[in-house]
A and B are shown apart, each in its own frame.
Chain A
Amino acid sequence: MTVAGGGWETVIGLETHVQLRTASKMFCGCSAAFGAPPNTNVCPVCLGLPGALPVPNEQALKLAVRAALALGCTLHPKSVFARKNYFYPDLPKGYQISQFEQPLATQGALSYVSPERGLTTATIVRLHVEEDAGKSLHDRFPKETAIDLNRCGVPLIEIVTGPDFRSPPEARRYLQTLKQVLEYAGISDCDMEKGSLRVDANVSVRRAGATALGTKTEVKNINSFAYVEKALTVERDRQIALLEGGGVVEQQTLLYDSKTNGVRPQRSKEQSHDYRYFPDPDLPPLALTEEFIAQQQAQLPELPATKRERFMTQYALSVNDADVLTGDRAVADYYEAVVHAGADAKLAANWVINEVLADAKTHDEQLRVPPGALAQLIGLVRGGTLSQQAAKRVFAEVAERGGEPRNVAEALGVVQVGDSGVVAGWVTEVLGAHPQEVVRYKQGETKLMPFFVGQVMKVSRGKADPKLAQRILEEKLAA
Chain B
Amino acid sequence: MSVTDEDVLKIARLAELDVDEETLPVLTEQMSRILEFVAQISAVPASESAKPFVPGPDAVRFRPDEVKPWPLAFGPSEFAPAFKAGFFVVPKLGQFEEPEA
Which residues of chain A have a CB within 8 Å of any CB of chain B?
22-24, 28-31, 37-45, 47, 52, 55-61, 78, 81, 87, 89, 136-141, 143-149, 255, 264-267, 270-272, 274, 276, 283-287
Which residues of chain B have a CB within 8 Å of any CB of chain A?
10, 13-14, 16, 54, 56-72, 76, 82, 84-96
Considering only CB atoms, which chain A residue lies closest to B11 in the complex?
A276
Interface centre among B16, B76, B84 (most CB of A within 10 A): B76
Cβ-defined partner of B93 (8 Å) among A29, A61, A265, A267: A267
**Bound Cα distance from A145 to B71, whole angstroms:** 26
Decide if A145 touches B56 in the complex (CB within 8 Å).
no
Decide if B68 touches A29 in the complex (CB within 8 Å).
yes
Decide if A42 touches B94 in the complex (CB within 8 Å).
no
Chain B neighbourhood of A52, CB < 8 A: 70
Considering only CB atoms, which chain B residue lies closest to A272 in the complex?
B14
Decide if B60 touches A287 in the complex (CB within 8 Å).
yes
**Bound Cα distance from A7 to B100, whole angstroms:** 42
**Bound Cα distance from A191 to B93, whole angstroms:** 27
Secondary structure dominating the interface of A: loop
Decide if A287 touches B92 in the complex (CB within 8 Å).
no
**Bound Cα distance from A52 to B72, whole angstroms:** 11
**Bound Cα distance from A30 to B63, whole angstroms:** 12
**Bound Cα distance from A78 to B90, whole angstroms:** 39
Chain A neighbourhood of B57, CB < 8 A: 284
Decide if B95 touches A276 in the complex (CB within 8 Å).
no
Given A145-B96, A267-B94, A23 and B84 contact (CB-CB distance below 8 Å):
no
**Bound Cα distance from A59 to B56, whole angstroms:** 23
Cβ-defined partner of B86 (8 Å) among A38, A44, A145: A38
Given A55-B61, A55-B63, A28 and B16 contact (CB-CB distance below 8 Å):
no
Decide if B95 touches A255 in the complex (CB within 8 Å).
yes
**Bound Cα distance from A5 to B71, whole angstroms:** 58
Given A137-B87, A287-B58, A287-B59, A57 and B65 contact (CB-CB distance below 8 Å):
yes
**Bound Cα distance from A59 to B66, whole angstroms:** 9
Decide if A146 touches B88 in the complex (CB within 8 Å).
yes
Cβ-defined partner of B60 (8 Å) among A22, A38, A56, A148: A56
Considering only CB atoms, which chain A residue lies closest to B65 in the complex?
A59
**Bound Cα distance from A140 to B63, whole angstroms:** 36
Cβ-defined partner of A23 (8 Å) among B66, B85, B96: B66
Decide if A140 touches B65 in the complex (CB within 8 Å).
no
Decide if B88 touches A89 in the complex (CB within 8 Å).
yes
**Bound Cα distance from A1 to B67, whole angstroms:** 50
Decide if A145 touches B59 in the complex (CB within 8 Å).
no
B77 to chain A, nearest CB (A): 8
A148 to chain B, nearest CB (A): 6
Cβ-defined partner of A144 (8 Å) among B14, B62, B92: B92
Decide if A284 touches B87 in the complex (CB within 8 Å).
no
Considering only CB atoms, which chain B residue lies closest to A275 in the complex?
B14
Cβ-defined partner of B76 (8 Å) among A31, A42, A58: A42
